[in-house]
Amino acid sequence: MADSAARHSALAEAAGVPELIEKKGLLVVYPNKAAYEADALAWSLRRENNVVWKTMERPELVALCPELGERYQYGAFIVDGAHCRSPGGYVAALAQYAENKGVRYISGCAEKFLIDGGKISGVVYNGNKIACDHLVIAGGMGSVELASQIGDRLPLVSERGYHVEVPGAEGGVSIPVMMSDLKFGITPMTGGLRAAGQVEFALKGAAPDWRRARILLDCLREGLPRLKIGGFSTTNHWMGNRPSTPDCLPVIGPSPKVKGVYYATGHGHLGLVSAPLTAEFIARLIAGDVVPEVAPYTVERFCRGGKE
Ligand SMILES: Cc1cc2nc3c(=O)[nH]c(=O)nc-3n(C[C@H](O)[C@H](O)[C@H](O)COP(=O)(O)OP(=O)(O)OC[C@H]3O[C@@H](n4cnc5c(N)ncnc54)[C@H](O)[C@@H]3O)c2cc1C
């Protein structure tokens, strides 16, 4: 993930939307210095991975985020942090860019795979068939069912999460801020000020529990008490999946069961951040390269030892 911001900036530039990836840093705020010090493990991992930050007392925090509530007295500013101002707009621009380069899209639900002599030969979708030499399973939580058809075990669980976006409030905060104790972050987006974070485990197919989104709105009010924020009905809110593995690593690489099948899934909390490098690995694998970097991420790790 170290060069993720640079990769996304280059892609956004190529797709004609450079303004959607902004490099303004990331502010992580704590109630006090002791709370920051209690988070030492996270910061030591960041140090090992060459992340650079500057710790700050309240006056410096307020200079960066004037709306910040009294609750926060200490913080750390991650200098090289970057954010995407509109994941939806960015992905749409990338899709158009790929189409301009000759990619053809077919929409439908993949229902069944055609396998010939241990090699993938096609996909059945919405009752239609399409022949293929290579297949990438990148279906988020839907990947579990698709992998089981291939014969691979993919133990994904969704760490569900909610977003609450307050239209018109994005001008109140100019950089992304993580409220460490409330486990959520706020980001100025093209469509408003977005609060997202926290984790919910729910049964497969369970309806969203909007109380969780309301909690996020309450957290937003707590963190930025002076900002004018309307009621829940004035916000845009939605629930999403974070397809997560037991070891928190993604699943990237070939299927050991069927030749020509590759996995690009299970990125949990970091699907957008990880996407450019995962895509590069998959492209190299399909082109026939040896890609030793994917060794820790293969689906086979869930089949070694123990019961399937
Ligand atoms: C609240 C929240 C905040 C987040 N914040 C961040 C963040 O700050 N940074 C970050 O990097 N990540 C973040 N994420 C995580 C990120 O959203 C996920 O990691 C990412 O969406 C996973 O992408 P994916 O393409 O693997 O799966 P998905 O986005 O779930 O997409 C899978 C797609 O496959 C389709 N599909 C499934 N089955 C089939 C089938 N049989 N046939 C055809 N299509 C199928 C689905 O309809 C879906 O469109 C956040 C997630 C949440 C919920």
Q: Which atom of ligand 1 is nearest to the CA of 108?
A: 43
pLDDT along the chain (308 residues), means of 10: 96 98 98 98 97 98 96 97 97 98 97 97 97 98 97 96 93 92 96 96 94 97 93 97 97 98 98 97 98 97 67
Of all helices (H) and strands (E), which one includes residue 21?
strand 21-22
Q: Which atom of ligand 1 is nearest to the CA of 109?
A: 42
14/149 Cα distance (integer angstroms): 37
Burial class (CB in 10 A: 0-12, 13-18, 19+), 21: buried
Nearest CA to ligand 1 atom 27: 140
Q: Which atom of ligand 1 is nearest to the CA of 138?
A: 26
DSSP structural state of residue 32:
S
Domain segments of the chain: what residues?
26-79+158-244, 111-156+247-302
Q: Which residue ranges have their beta carbon within 6 Å of ligand 1?
A: 109-110, 138-140, 142, 146, 161-163, 196, 240-243, 265, 267-273
Nearest CA to ligand 1 atom 48: 139
Which pLDDT does position 305 carry in this prediction? 55
User: Is there a common fold for 26-79+158-244 and 111-156+247-302?
Assistant: no
Which pLDDT does position 169 carry in this prediction? 87
Nearest CA to ligand 1 atom 14: 269
How many angstroms does the Cα of residue 242 sit away from the middle of ligand 1?
6
How many angstroms does the Cα of residue 282 sit away from the middle of ligand 1?
17
210 and 242 Cβ atoms separated by less than 8 Å: no
How many angstroms does the Cα of residue 56 sit away from the middle of ligand 1?
34
Domain 111-156+247-302 has CATH 3.30.930.10: no
308/303 Cα distance (integer angstroms): 6
Nearest CA to ligand 1 atom 45: 139
Contacts of 199 (CB under 8 A, 6+ apart): 159, 160, 161, 183, 242
106/121 Cα distance (integer angstroms): 17
The class of domain 26-79+158-244 in CATH terms is: alpha beta
Which pLDDT does position 308 carry in this prediction? 47
How many angstroms does the Cα of residue 305 sit away from the middle of ligand 1?
29
Q: Which atom of ligand 1 is nearest to the CA of 270?
A: 11
64/59 Cα distance (integer angstroms): 9
